[in-house]
């Protein structure tokens, strides 16, 4: 079951991850939210990460815990 988060505006988003290759050839995992459940959906927020919401528009992001 995919991790889902409902923002302050009542819209439900699902957390996804993807392995990408940067210009220098380095592999990196990116995390992003979508309105639908996808094959890239993950079950939980990764360890050491937290979900943040932009108060102006309700946009969700994942960042390292401070």
pLDDT (tens digit per residue) in 9-66: 999 999 999 999 999 999 999 999 999 999 999 999 999 999 999 999 999 999 999 8
* Beta carbons within 8 Å of 26's beta carbon, 6+ residues apart: none
Angle at 61 between CA 41 and CA 18, to 5 degrees: 35
* Beta carbons within 8 Å of 36's beta carbon, 6+ residues apart: 14
Q: 38, 52 in Cβ contact below 8 A?
A: no
**pTM, two decimal places:** 0.89
The residues spanned by each domain of the chain are 4-64
Residue 36, strand partner residues: none
């Amino acid at each position: 079951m995919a991790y889902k988060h409902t923002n302050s505006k009542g819209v439900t988003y699902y957390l996804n991850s993807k392995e990408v290759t940067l210009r220098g050839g380095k592999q990196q995992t990116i995390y992003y939210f979508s309105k639908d459940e996808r094959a890239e959906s993950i079950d939980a927020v990764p360890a050491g990460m937290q979900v943040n919401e932009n108060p102006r528009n309700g946009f969700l992001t994942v960042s390292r815990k401070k």
